[in-house]
Amino acid sequence: MAKLDFSFENAKKLMDGYYPLYIDGKWMDGSDKEVMDVYCPANQEKISSVACASEKDVDTAVKAAWRAFPAWSKISLTERYNILQQMYARLTARATELGMVESLETGKNMAGNVGEIYFAIDQFPYFASAMRVAEDGISSAADGSKTMAVREPVGVVGAICPWNAPIIMCAWKLAPALAAGNCVVMKPSSFTPAGTMELLKLVADLLPPGVFNVINGKGSKTGQFLMDHPGISKLSFTGSTEIGVQVGLAAAKRLIPATLELGGKSAGIYFADIVPDLLDEALGYAAVMLFMSGQGCALQTRCIVQESIYDMFVDRLAEVFRNYKVGMPWDTSARMGSIAYEAHMNSVLDYIDIGKKEGARLVCGGSRITSGEMGKGFFIEPTLFADVDNGMRIAQEEIFGPVLCVIKFKDEEDAIRIANDSVYGLGGGVMSGDLAKALRVAGAMRTGTVTINNAATHLAGAPFGGFKQSGLGRESYRTTLDHFSEIKTINFKY
Ligand code: NAD
Protein backbone atom coordinates (compact mmCIF):
# COMPACT_ATOMS: atom_id res chain seq x y z
CA MET A 1 0.00 0.00 0.00
CA ALA A 2 1.36 3.38 -0.99
CA LYS A 3 2.30 5.64 1.91
CA LEU A 4 0.65 8.99 1.45
CA ASP A 5 0.25 12.13 3.46
CA PHE A 6 -3.28 12.76 4.57
CA SER A 7 -3.58 16.36 3.43
CA PHE A 8 -6.08 18.36 1.43
CA GLU A 9 -3.54 19.14 -1.32
CA ASN A 10 -2.40 15.52 -1.68
CA ALA A 11 -5.94 14.22 -1.79
CA LYS A 12 -6.94 16.83 -4.37
CA LYS A 13 -3.99 15.83 -6.56
CA LEU A 14 -5.38 12.30 -6.66
CA MET A 15 -8.54 13.54 -8.38
CA ASP A 16 -9.12 14.69 -11.93
CA GLY A 17 -10.23 18.28 -12.35
CA TYR A 18 -13.01 17.04 -14.60
CA TYR A 19 -14.63 13.64 -15.07
CA PRO A 20 -16.49 13.01 -18.35
CA LEU A 21 -19.22 10.40 -18.63
CA TYR A 22 -18.11 6.79 -19.16
CA ILE A 23 -20.28 5.04 -21.72
CA ASP A 24 -19.52 2.01 -23.91
CA GLY A 25 -15.90 1.96 -22.77
CA LYS A 26 -15.34 5.59 -23.84
CA TRP A 27 -14.95 8.84 -21.89
CA MET A 28 -17.28 11.49 -23.32
CA ASP A 29 -18.78 14.87 -22.53
CA GLY A 30 -22.51 15.10 -21.95
CA SER A 31 -24.48 15.79 -25.13
CA ASP A 32 -25.85 19.06 -23.73
CA LYS A 33 -22.43 20.06 -22.28
CA GLU A 34 -23.82 20.56 -18.77
CA VAL A 35 -21.15 20.35 -16.06
CA MET A 36 -21.57 20.11 -12.28
CA ASP A 37 -18.94 21.22 -9.74
CA VAL A 38 -17.88 19.13 -6.76
CA TYR A 39 -16.89 20.79 -3.47
CA CYS A 40 -15.14 19.71 -0.30
CA PRO A 41 -17.70 20.31 2.47
CA ALA A 42 -14.95 20.76 5.07
CA ASN A 43 -13.65 23.99 3.49
CA GLN A 44 -16.06 24.71 0.59
CA GLU A 45 -13.23 24.58 -1.99
CA LYS A 46 -14.05 23.33 -5.45
CA ILE A 47 -12.23 20.04 -5.95
CA SER A 48 -13.50 18.74 -9.27
CA SER A 49 -16.35 18.78 -11.76
CA VAL A 50 -18.31 16.17 -13.69
CA ALA A 51 -20.18 16.01 -16.97
CA CYS A 52 -23.94 15.65 -16.58
CA ALA A 53 -25.83 13.05 -18.58
CA SER A 54 -28.85 14.18 -20.56
CA GLU A 55 -31.78 11.90 -21.38
CA LYS A 56 -30.04 11.10 -24.68
CA ASP A 57 -26.81 10.12 -22.86
CA VAL A 58 -28.74 7.85 -20.49
CA ASP A 59 -30.31 6.20 -23.50
CA THR A 60 -26.88 5.77 -25.14
CA ALA A 61 -25.57 4.15 -21.96
CA VAL A 62 -28.49 1.74 -21.61
CA LYS A 63 -28.20 0.73 -25.28
CA ALA A 64 -24.43 0.20 -24.93
CA ALA A 65 -25.08 -2.01 -21.90
CA TRP A 66 -27.55 -4.13 -23.89
CA ARG A 67 -25.06 -4.51 -26.74
CA ALA A 68 -22.46 -5.76 -24.25
CA PHE A 69 -24.88 -8.07 -22.46
CA PRO A 70 -25.00 -11.16 -24.74
CA ALA A 71 -21.23 -11.69 -24.66
CA TRP A 72 -20.76 -10.70 -20.99
CA SER A 73 -23.57 -12.93 -19.77
CA LYS A 74 -22.06 -15.92 -21.55
CA ILE A 75 -18.43 -15.79 -20.46
CA SER A 76 -17.38 -18.67 -18.27
CA LEU A 77 -17.61 -18.45 -14.51
CA THR A 78 -13.85 -18.88 -14.32
CA GLU A 79 -13.29 -15.90 -16.55
CA ARG A 80 -15.76 -13.74 -14.64
CA TYR A 81 -14.21 -14.89 -11.37
CA ASN A 82 -10.77 -13.86 -12.62
CA ILE A 83 -12.02 -10.43 -13.67
CA LEU A 84 -13.67 -9.77 -10.29
CA GLN A 85 -10.51 -10.89 -8.50
CA GLN A 86 -8.37 -8.61 -10.68
CA MET A 87 -10.71 -5.73 -9.90
CA TYR A 88 -10.23 -6.48 -6.22
CA ALA A 89 -6.44 -6.59 -6.56
CA ARG A 90 -6.34 -3.21 -8.33
CA LEU A 91 -8.69 -1.59 -5.83
CA THR A 92 -6.81 -3.02 -2.86
CA ALA A 93 -3.55 -1.57 -4.18
CA ARG A 94 -5.15 1.90 -4.31
CA ALA A 95 -7.48 1.71 -1.30
CA THR A 96 -5.68 4.50 0.55
CA GLU A 97 -6.02 6.88 -2.37
CA LEU A 98 -9.67 5.96 -2.90
CA GLY A 99 -10.34 6.63 0.77
CA MET A 100 -8.65 10.03 0.55
CA VAL A 101 -10.62 11.09 -2.51
CA GLU A 102 -13.89 9.98 -0.99
CA SER A 103 -13.09 11.84 2.26
CA LEU A 104 -12.46 15.04 0.38
CA GLU A 105 -15.87 15.02 -1.25
CA THR A 106 -17.86 13.68 1.72
CA GLY A 107 -16.02 15.51 4.53
CA LYS A 108 -15.50 12.20 6.34
CA ASN A 109 -12.44 11.55 8.46
CA MET A 110 -9.71 10.41 6.07
CA ALA A 111 -7.83 7.88 8.17
CA GLY A 112 -11.06 6.16 9.23
CA ASN A 113 -12.41 6.25 5.73
CA VAL A 114 -9.55 4.19 4.31
CA GLY A 115 -10.82 1.28 6.42
CA GLU A 116 -14.22 1.77 4.85
CA ILE A 117 -12.73 1.23 1.39
CA TYR A 118 -11.29 -2.17 2.30
CA PHE A 119 -14.68 -3.07 3.70
CA ALA A 120 -16.35 -1.89 0.45
CA ILE A 121 -14.15 -3.74 -2.00
CA ASP A 122 -14.37 -7.01 -0.11
CA GLN A 123 -17.62 -7.43 -2.05
CA PHE A 124 -15.63 -8.36 -5.18
CA PRO A 125 -13.93 -11.53 -3.87
CA TYR A 126 -17.06 -12.39 -1.89
CA PHE A 127 -19.34 -12.38 -4.95
CA ALA A 128 -16.64 -13.91 -7.16
CA SER A 129 -16.74 -16.88 -4.80
CA ALA A 130 -20.47 -16.83 -4.05
CA MET A 131 -21.36 -17.11 -7.75
CA ARG A 132 -19.16 -20.19 -8.07
CA VAL A 133 -20.85 -22.06 -5.25
CA ALA A 134 -24.40 -21.05 -6.25
CA GLU A 135 -25.98 -24.16 -7.71
CA ASP A 136 -28.94 -24.48 -10.00
CA GLY A 137 -31.59 -26.99 -8.89
CA ILE A 138 -32.66 -30.21 -10.53
CA SER A 139 -35.61 -32.40 -9.64
CA SER A 140 -37.38 -35.45 -11.05
CA ALA A 141 -41.02 -34.50 -11.48
CA ALA A 142 -41.87 -37.74 -13.29
CA ASP A 143 -40.08 -40.88 -14.40
CA GLY A 144 -38.03 -40.21 -17.54
CA SER A 145 -38.04 -36.46 -17.15
CA LYS A 146 -36.15 -33.87 -15.15
CA THR A 147 -36.91 -30.32 -14.15
CA MET A 148 -34.03 -27.88 -13.95
CA ALA A 149 -34.25 -24.49 -12.28
CA VAL A 150 -31.52 -22.29 -13.75
CA ARG A 151 -30.53 -18.75 -12.84
CA GLU A 152 -30.06 -16.22 -15.62
CA PRO A 153 -28.94 -12.59 -15.39
CA VAL A 154 -31.71 -9.97 -15.47
CA GLY A 155 -29.98 -7.90 -18.21
CA VAL A 156 -29.17 -4.24 -17.60
CA VAL A 157 -29.18 -2.94 -14.04
CA GLY A 158 -29.84 0.74 -13.27
CA ALA A 159 -27.93 1.51 -10.06
CA ILE A 160 -28.48 4.75 -8.14
CA CYS A 161 -26.25 5.56 -5.14
CA PRO A 162 -26.32 8.04 -2.21
CA TRP A 163 -23.61 10.45 -1.01
CA ASN A 164 -22.81 9.14 2.44
CA ALA A 165 -20.69 6.10 1.50
CA PRO A 166 -20.28 6.31 -2.28
CA ILE A 167 -17.64 3.60 -2.74
CA ILE A 168 -19.35 1.11 -0.43
CA MET A 169 -22.60 1.66 -2.29
CA CYS A 170 -20.94 1.35 -5.69
CA ALA A 171 -19.21 -1.92 -4.70
CA TRP A 172 -22.32 -3.37 -3.06
CA LYS A 173 -24.22 -3.00 -6.33
CA LEU A 174 -21.52 -3.50 -8.93
CA ALA A 175 -19.94 -6.70 -7.57
CA PRO A 176 -23.14 -8.82 -7.35
CA ALA A 177 -24.57 -7.36 -10.57
CA LEU A 178 -21.45 -8.33 -12.55
CA ALA A 179 -21.10 -11.68 -10.77
CA ALA A 180 -24.65 -12.58 -11.80
CA GLY A 181 -23.78 -11.75 -15.43
CA ASN A 182 -25.46 -8.36 -15.82
CA CYS A 183 -24.34 -5.07 -17.32
CA VAL A 184 -24.65 -1.90 -15.26
CA VAL A 185 -25.50 1.76 -15.75
CA MET A 186 -24.64 3.54 -12.51
CA LYS A 187 -25.46 7.03 -11.29
CA PRO A 188 -23.48 8.19 -8.25
CA SER A 189 -24.83 10.97 -6.01
CA SER A 190 -24.47 14.44 -7.51
CA PHE A 191 -22.69 15.54 -4.30
CA THR A 192 -20.05 12.81 -4.29
CA PRO A 193 -19.28 11.45 -7.77
CA ALA A 194 -15.45 11.53 -7.67
CA GLY A 195 -14.78 8.40 -5.59
CA THR A 196 -16.84 6.27 -7.96
CA MET A 197 -15.07 7.80 -10.97
CA GLU A 198 -11.67 6.97 -9.43
CA LEU A 199 -12.81 3.40 -8.75
CA LEU A 200 -14.01 3.19 -12.34
CA LYS A 201 -10.66 4.42 -13.70
CA LEU A 202 -8.89 1.62 -11.83
CA VAL A 203 -11.05 -1.18 -13.25
CA ALA A 204 -12.41 0.12 -16.56
CA ASP A 205 -9.99 -1.73 -18.85
CA LEU A 206 -10.71 -5.07 -17.15
CA LEU A 207 -14.29 -5.04 -18.41
CA PRO A 208 -15.51 -5.21 -22.03
CA PRO A 209 -16.96 -1.89 -23.32
CA GLY A 210 -20.55 -1.32 -22.20
CA VAL A 211 -20.48 -3.70 -19.23
CA PHE A 212 -20.05 -0.91 -16.67
CA ASN A 213 -21.22 2.60 -17.59
CA VAL A 214 -21.16 5.55 -15.20
CA ILE A 215 -23.25 8.65 -15.75
CA ASN A 216 -23.36 11.65 -13.48
CA GLY A 217 -25.95 14.34 -12.93
CA LYS A 218 -28.72 15.53 -10.66
CA GLY A 219 -31.13 12.97 -9.27
CA SER A 220 -34.16 14.87 -10.53
CA LYS A 221 -32.81 14.75 -14.11
CA THR A 222 -30.22 12.04 -14.80
CA GLY A 223 -31.49 9.84 -11.94
CA GLN A 224 -35.07 10.19 -13.09
CA PHE A 225 -34.14 9.42 -16.74
CA LEU A 226 -32.33 6.26 -15.63
CA MET A 227 -35.13 5.16 -13.32
CA ASP A 228 -37.75 5.63 -16.06
CA HIS A 229 -35.75 4.19 -18.95
CA PRO A 230 -37.71 1.32 -20.53
CA GLY A 231 -34.47 -0.60 -21.23
CA ILE A 232 -33.61 -1.09 -17.56
CA SER A 233 -34.45 -4.57 -16.33
CA LYS A 234 -33.72 -4.05 -12.63
CA LEU A 235 -33.32 -1.02 -10.38
CA SER A 236 -30.91 -1.11 -7.49
CA PHE A 237 -31.33 1.98 -5.34
CA THR A 238 -29.82 3.20 -2.09
CA GLY A 239 -30.99 6.50 -0.66
CA SER A 240 -33.84 8.15 1.18
CA THR A 241 -37.18 6.46 1.74
CA GLU A 242 -38.86 9.38 -0.05
CA ILE A 243 -37.00 8.79 -3.34
CA GLY A 244 -37.01 5.03 -2.75
CA VAL A 245 -40.80 5.00 -2.93
CA GLN A 246 -40.59 6.75 -6.32
CA VAL A 247 -38.06 4.17 -7.51
CA GLY A 248 -40.34 1.38 -6.30
CA LEU A 249 -43.29 2.89 -8.16
CA ALA A 250 -41.25 3.31 -11.35
CA ALA A 251 -40.25 -0.36 -11.12
CA ALA A 252 -43.83 -1.45 -10.40
CA LYS A 253 -45.14 0.41 -13.46
CA ARG A 254 -42.84 -1.63 -15.71
CA LEU A 255 -43.00 -4.79 -13.59
CA ILE A 256 -39.26 -4.96 -13.06
CA PRO A 257 -37.60 -5.86 -9.75
CA ALA A 258 -36.14 -3.19 -7.47
CA THR A 259 -33.82 -3.50 -4.51
CA LEU A 260 -34.39 -0.57 -2.17
CA GLU A 261 -31.93 0.23 0.62
CA LEU A 262 -33.49 3.17 2.43
CA GLY A 263 -33.44 5.26 5.60
CA GLY A 264 -33.29 4.24 9.24
CA LYS A 265 -33.82 5.36 12.82
CA SER A 266 -32.25 2.44 14.60
CA ALA A 267 -32.48 1.76 18.31
CA GLY A 268 -29.74 0.53 20.63
CA ILE A 269 -31.17 -0.97 23.85
CA TYR A 270 -29.00 -0.71 26.98
CA PHE A 271 -30.14 -2.92 29.88
CA ALA A 272 -29.15 -2.12 33.47
CA ASP A 273 -27.23 -5.40 33.71
CA ILE A 274 -24.44 -3.98 31.53
CA VAL A 275 -23.14 -2.38 34.75
CA PRO A 276 -20.33 -2.72 35.65
CA ASP A 277 -18.65 -5.17 33.23
CA LEU A 278 -19.94 -3.88 29.89
CA LEU A 279 -20.40 -0.21 30.73
CA ASP A 280 -17.29 1.24 29.03
CA GLU A 281 -17.89 -0.89 25.95
CA ALA A 282 -21.54 0.19 25.90
CA LEU A 283 -20.63 3.88 26.02
CA GLY A 284 -18.24 3.32 23.11
CA TYR A 285 -20.95 1.58 21.10
CA ALA A 286 -23.46 4.35 21.79
CA ALA A 287 -20.91 6.84 20.41
CA VAL A 288 -20.44 4.77 17.23
CA MET A 289 -23.35 6.81 15.85
CA LEU A 290 -20.93 9.74 15.53
CA PHE A 291 -19.08 7.73 12.90
CA MET A 292 -19.56 9.47 9.52
CA SER A 293 -20.93 12.45 11.51
CA GLY A 294 -24.10 10.44 12.07
CA GLN A 295 -24.65 10.18 8.31
CA GLY A 296 -25.01 6.42 8.23
CA CYS A 297 -28.29 4.68 7.48
CA ALA A 298 -27.98 1.90 10.08
CA LEU A 299 -26.40 3.92 12.89
CA GLN A 300 -28.20 3.54 16.22
CA THR A 301 -29.52 7.07 16.61
CA ARG A 302 -32.01 6.19 19.36
CA CYS A 303 -30.28 5.09 22.55
CA ILE A 304 -32.84 3.36 24.78
CA VAL A 305 -31.58 3.05 28.36
CA GLN A 306 -33.12 1.26 31.37
CA GLU A 307 -34.39 3.69 34.02
CA SER A 308 -32.23 2.49 36.92
CA ILE A 309 -28.99 3.43 35.09
CA TYR A 310 -30.42 6.23 32.92
CA ASP A 311 -29.02 9.32 34.71
CA MET A 312 -25.56 7.80 35.21
CA PHE A 313 -25.49 6.60 31.56
CA VAL A 314 -26.44 10.02 30.19
CA ASP A 315 -23.75 11.74 32.32
CA ARG A 316 -21.05 9.29 31.23
CA LEU A 317 -22.13 9.42 27.58
CA ALA A 318 -22.04 13.22 27.64
CA GLU A 319 -18.39 12.98 28.72
CA VAL A 320 -17.67 10.74 25.71
CA PHE A 321 -19.47 13.13 23.36
CA ARG A 322 -17.72 16.23 24.75
CA ASN A 323 -14.33 14.57 24.28
CA TYR A 324 -15.05 13.18 20.81
CA LYS A 325 -12.62 15.03 18.59
CA VAL A 326 -14.07 16.73 15.53
CA GLY A 327 -11.67 17.97 12.88
CA MET A 328 -10.83 18.49 9.24
CA PRO A 329 -10.97 15.22 7.24
CA TRP A 330 -7.16 15.20 6.94
CA ASP A 331 -6.60 15.73 10.71
CA THR A 332 -5.50 12.24 11.75
CA SER A 333 -6.15 12.94 15.42
CA ALA A 334 -9.84 13.69 14.74
CA ARG A 335 -12.54 11.04 14.77
CA MET A 336 -15.39 12.90 13.12
CA GLY A 337 -15.43 15.18 10.08
CA SER A 338 -17.98 17.48 8.51
CA ILE A 339 -21.53 17.22 7.26
CA ALA A 340 -21.67 16.48 3.52
CA TYR A 341 -23.24 19.69 2.21
CA GLU A 342 -24.69 22.98 3.41
CA ALA A 343 -28.41 22.31 2.94
CA HIS A 344 -28.04 19.05 4.85
CA MET A 345 -26.16 20.80 7.69
CA ASN A 346 -29.04 23.28 7.90
CA SER A 347 -31.53 20.46 8.04
CA VAL A 348 -29.62 18.84 10.96
CA LEU A 349 -29.49 22.20 12.78
CA ASP A 350 -33.25 22.61 12.21
CA TYR A 351 -33.81 19.23 13.86
CA ILE A 352 -31.74 20.35 16.85
CA ASP A 353 -34.07 23.36 17.20
CA ILE A 354 -37.10 21.09 16.83
CA GLY A 355 -35.74 18.86 19.62
CA LYS A 356 -35.35 21.84 21.95
CA LYS A 357 -38.88 23.06 21.15
CA GLU A 358 -40.29 19.56 21.70
CA GLY A 359 -38.90 19.67 25.24
CA ALA A 360 -35.97 17.28 24.94
CA ARG A 361 -33.00 18.19 27.19
CA LEU A 362 -29.93 19.27 25.23
CA VAL A 363 -27.09 17.77 27.26
CA CYS A 364 -24.18 18.76 25.05
CA GLY A 365 -23.37 20.04 21.57
CA GLY A 366 -26.18 21.47 19.49
CA SER A 367 -24.32 24.06 17.41
CA ARG A 368 -22.46 24.52 14.18
CA ILE A 369 -18.70 24.85 14.71
CA THR A 370 -17.83 28.32 13.46
CA SER A 371 -14.35 28.91 14.86
CA GLY A 372 -10.91 28.09 13.44
CA GLU A 373 -10.35 26.07 10.28
CA MET A 374 -13.63 24.21 10.74
CA GLY A 375 -15.47 27.51 10.48
CA LYS A 376 -14.93 27.33 6.71
CA GLY A 377 -16.92 24.13 6.43
CA PHE A 378 -20.11 22.43 7.56
CA PHE A 379 -19.31 21.03 11.00
CA ILE A 380 -21.74 20.30 13.82
CA GLU A 381 -20.80 19.41 17.41
CA PRO A 382 -21.56 15.90 18.67
CA THR A 383 -25.02 16.47 20.09
CA LEU A 384 -26.79 14.58 22.85
CA PHE A 385 -30.46 14.94 23.72
CA ALA A 386 -31.76 13.29 26.90
CA ASP A 387 -35.32 12.94 28.22
CA VAL A 388 -36.50 12.25 24.70
CA ASP A 389 -39.97 10.84 24.24
CA ASN A 390 -40.08 8.33 21.39
CA GLY A 391 -43.08 10.16 19.92
CA MET A 392 -41.02 13.32 19.34
CA ARG A 393 -40.05 14.15 15.78
CA ILE A 394 -36.34 13.92 16.68
CA ALA A 395 -36.94 10.28 17.69
CA GLN A 396 -39.14 9.40 14.73
CA GLU A 397 -37.55 11.17 11.75
CA GLU A 398 -34.17 10.43 10.22
CA ILE A 399 -31.89 13.38 11.11
CA PHE A 400 -28.77 11.87 9.49
CA GLY A 401 -26.36 13.93 11.59
CA PRO A 402 -24.39 13.69 14.86
CA VAL A 403 -27.49 13.88 17.05
CA LEU A 404 -28.27 11.09 19.53
CA CYS A 405 -31.64 10.80 21.31
CA VAL A 406 -31.51 9.07 24.70
CA ILE A 407 -34.84 7.53 25.73
CA LYS A 408 -35.76 5.86 29.05
CA PHE A 409 -37.40 2.42 29.36
CA LYS A 410 -38.78 0.40 32.27
CA ASP A 411 -38.51 -3.28 31.39
CA GLU A 412 -37.89 -5.68 28.50
CA GLU A 413 -41.38 -5.32 27.07
CA ASP A 414 -41.18 -1.54 27.20
CA ALA A 415 -37.78 -1.56 25.47
CA ILE A 416 -39.09 -3.71 22.61
CA ARG A 417 -42.19 -1.55 22.25
CA ILE A 418 -40.12 1.65 21.99
CA ALA A 419 -37.55 0.15 19.61
CA ASN A 420 -40.32 -1.10 17.28
CA ASP A 421 -42.28 2.15 17.43
CA SER A 422 -40.73 3.46 14.23
CA VAL A 423 -41.62 3.43 10.56
CA TYR A 424 -38.07 2.24 9.94
CA GLY A 425 -36.41 -1.10 10.63
CA LEU A 426 -32.81 -1.12 9.40
CA GLY A 427 -30.33 -1.60 12.28
CA GLY A 428 -30.51 -2.08 16.02
CA GLY A 429 -28.59 -3.30 19.02
CA VAL A 430 -28.92 -4.87 22.45
CA MET A 431 -26.41 -4.52 25.27
CA SER A 432 -26.95 -6.87 28.19
CA GLY A 433 -25.03 -9.16 30.49
CA ASP A 434 -27.79 -11.75 30.00
CA LEU A 435 -27.28 -13.34 26.60
CA ALA A 436 -30.58 -15.24 26.67
CA LYS A 437 -32.45 -11.98 27.22
CA ALA A 438 -30.40 -10.21 24.55
CA LEU A 439 -31.22 -12.94 22.00
CA ARG A 440 -34.91 -12.80 22.94
CA VAL A 441 -34.99 -9.03 22.45
CA ALA A 442 -33.00 -9.25 19.19
CA GLY A 443 -35.62 -11.71 17.94
CA ALA A 444 -38.45 -9.33 18.83
CA MET A 445 -36.94 -6.30 17.10
CA ARG A 446 -38.54 -5.63 13.70
CA THR A 447 -35.31 -4.69 11.97
CA GLY A 448 -32.90 -6.08 9.38
CA THR A 449 -29.76 -6.18 11.53
CA VAL A 450 -29.24 -6.46 15.29
CA THR A 451 -25.91 -6.33 17.10
CA ILE A 452 -25.56 -7.91 20.55
CA ASN A 453 -22.81 -6.57 22.80
CA ASN A 454 -21.06 -5.40 19.67
CA ALA A 455 -20.77 -2.48 17.32
CA ALA A 456 -22.23 -2.71 13.82
CA THR A 457 -20.13 -4.98 11.61
CA HIS A 458 -21.56 -5.57 8.16
CA LEU A 459 -18.96 -7.82 6.59
CA ALA A 460 -19.42 -9.26 3.12
CA GLY A 461 -21.58 -12.32 3.63
CA ALA A 462 -23.74 -10.66 6.33
CA PRO A 463 -27.07 -9.73 4.74
CA PHE A 464 -27.84 -6.03 4.89
CA GLY A 465 -31.23 -4.42 4.36
CA GLY A 466 -34.36 -3.27 6.07
CA PHE A 467 -37.78 -4.17 7.40
CA LYS A 468 -40.69 -1.74 7.03
CA GLN A 469 -39.85 1.59 5.33
CA SER A 470 -36.13 0.84 5.43
CA GLY A 471 -36.38 -1.04 2.17
CA LEU A 472 -36.84 -4.18 0.16
CA GLY A 473 -34.29 -6.89 -0.51
CA ARG A 474 -30.85 -7.60 0.92
CA GLU A 475 -27.36 -6.67 -0.22
CA SER A 476 -23.97 -8.15 0.63
CA TYR A 477 -25.28 -11.72 0.92
CA ARG A 478 -25.41 -14.80 -1.30
CA THR A 479 -29.15 -14.33 -1.94
CA THR A 480 -28.29 -10.91 -3.43
CA LEU A 481 -27.29 -12.87 -6.53
CA ASP A 482 -30.91 -14.04 -6.75
CA HIS A 483 -32.05 -10.41 -6.74
CA PHE A 484 -29.87 -9.87 -9.80
CA SER A 485 -31.14 -12.98 -11.60
CA GLU A 486 -34.26 -14.46 -13.10
CA ILE A 487 -34.99 -18.13 -12.45
CA LYS A 488 -35.98 -20.24 -15.42
CA THR A 489 -37.48 -23.72 -15.35
CA ILE A 490 -36.35 -26.13 -18.05
CA ASN A 491 -38.20 -29.41 -18.18
CA PHE A 492 -36.85 -32.20 -20.35
CA LYS A 493 -37.63 -35.79 -21.18
CA TYR A 494 -34.95 -38.38 -21.73
P1 NAD B 1 -31.46 10.62 -1.89
O2 NAD B 1 -32.64 9.73 -1.89
O3 NAD B 1 -31.68 12.07 -1.84
O4 NAD B 1 -30.56 10.35 -3.17
C5 NAD B 1 -30.08 9.05 -3.48
C6 NAD B 1 -29.74 9.00 -4.97
O7 NAD B 1 -30.95 9.17 -5.69
C8 NAD B 1 -28.79 10.09 -5.43
O9 NAD B 1 -27.95 9.57 -6.45
C10 NAD B 1 -29.74 11.11 -6.02
O11 NAD B 1 -29.11 11.92 -7.01
C12 NAD B 1 -30.79 10.20 -6.64
N13 NAD B 1 -32.10 10.84 -6.87
C14 NAD B 1 -32.64 11.91 -6.24
N15 NAD B 1 -33.84 12.19 -6.77
C16 NAD B 1 -34.07 11.26 -7.73
C17 NAD B 1 -35.15 11.02 -8.63
N18 NAD B 1 -36.24 11.79 -8.64
N19 NAD B 1 -35.04 9.99 -9.49
C20 NAD B 1 -33.97 9.18 -9.48
N21 NAD B 1 -32.90 9.38 -8.67
C22 NAD B 1 -32.96 10.40 -7.80
O23 NAD B 1 -30.55 10.13 -0.67
P24 NAD B 1 -29.18 10.76 -0.19
O25 NAD B 1 -29.51 12.06 0.48
O26 NAD B 1 -28.19 10.74 -1.28
O27 NAD B 1 -28.69 9.69 0.88
C28 NAD B 1 -29.11 9.69 2.20
C29 NAD B 1 -30.20 8.66 2.41
O30 NAD B 1 -29.73 7.39 1.98
C31 NAD B 1 -30.56 8.48 3.86
O32 NAD B 1 -31.96 8.39 3.97
C33 NAD B 1 -29.91 7.18 4.23
O34 NAD B 1 -30.52 6.51 5.30
C35 NAD B 1 -30.02 6.42 2.96
N36 NAD B 1 -29.03 5.34 2.91
C37 NAD B 1 -29.48 4.05 3.03
C38 NAD B 1 -28.57 3.00 3.02
C39 NAD B 1 -29.04 1.58 3.16
O40 NAD B 1 -28.27 0.69 2.81
N41 NAD B 1 -30.24 1.33 3.62
C42 NAD B 1 -27.21 3.27 2.87
C43 NAD B 1 -26.79 4.57 2.73
C44 NAD B 1 -27.72 5.61 2.74
Q: What is the pLDDT of residue 1?
A: 40
Options 40, 52, 161, 297, the catalytic residue = 297
- Helices 95-106, 110-121: axis angle to 10 degrees equals 120
The pLDDT > 90 percentage for the chain reads 94
Q: What is the pLDDT of residue 457?
A: 73
Distance in angstroms (rounded) separating the CA atoms of residues 11 and 64? 33
State yes or no: pLDDT of 346 exceeds 90: yes
Q: Identify whether 261 is a catalytic site residue.
A: yes
Average pLDDT over residues 111-140: 93
CATH annotation of 8-262+471-493: 3.40.605.10
Average pLDDT over residues 440-460: 93
351 lines ligand 1 (CB under 6 A): no
State yes or no: pLDDT of 33 exceeds 80: yes
What are the residue boundaries of the structural domains of the chain, listed by start?
A: 8-262+471-493, 266-459
> Which atom number of ligand 1 is nearest to the Cα of residue 161?
9
The pLDDT > 70 percentage for the chain reads 99
Model confidence pLDDT, tens digit, residues 256-266 = 999 999 999 99
Residue 228 near residue 58 (C-beta atoms within 8 A): no
Q: What are φ and ψ of residue 51, in 5° steps?
A: -75, 145
CA-nearest residue, atom 7 of ligand 1? 219
Distance in angstroms (rounded) separating the CA atoms of residues 296 and 336? 13
Q: What is the pLDDT of residue 109?
A: 94
162 lines ligand 1 (CB under 6 A): yes
Options 34, 105, 198, 261, the catalytic residue = 261
DSSP assignment of 119-140 equals HHHTHHHHHHHHHHH---EEE-
State yes or no: pLDDT of 4 exceeds 60: yes
Query: Distance from the CA of 162 to the center of ligand 1, in angstroms?
Result: 4
Model confidence pLDDT, tens digit, residues 50-60 = 999 999 999 99
CA-nearest residue, atom 35 of ligand 1? 239
Average pLDDT over residues 146-159: 96
286 lines ligand 1 (CB under 6 A): no
Q: Identify whether 297 is a catalytic site residue.
A: yes
> Which atom number of ligand 1 is nearest to the Cα of residue 162?
26
Average pLDDT over residues 373-384: 98
Distance in angstroms (rounded) separating the CA atoms of residues 398 and 136? 41
Q: Which of 225, 238, 301, 424 to mutate to test the pocket of ligand 1 (most atoms within 8 A of CB)?
A: 238
> Which atom number of ligand 1 is nearest to the Cα of residue 475?
40
What is the 8-class DSSP label of residue 223?
I
Q: Which of 164, 173, 347 to mutate to test the pocket of ligand 1 (most atoms within 8 A of CB)?
A: 164
Distance in angstroms (rounded) separating the CA atoms of residues 19 and 31? 14
State yes or no: pLDDT of 312 exceeds 50: yes
Residue 375 near residue 393 (C-beta atoms within 8 A): no
Q: Are strands 35-39 and 26-28 parallel, antiparallel or unpaired?
A: unpaired
pTM for the complete prediction? Answer: 0.97
CATH annotation of 266-459: 3.40.309.10
Query: Distance from the CA of 242 to the center of ligand 1, in angstroms?
Result: 8
Split at pLDDT 50, 70, 90, the class of 272 is: very high
Query: Distance from the CA of 190 to the center of ligand 1, in angstroms?
Result: 10
Q: Which residues pair with 259 in a beta bridge?
A: 236
Distance in angstroms (rounded) separating the CA atoms of residues 290 and 324? 9
Q: Distance between alpha carbon 482 and the CA centroid of its chain, in Å?
A: 20
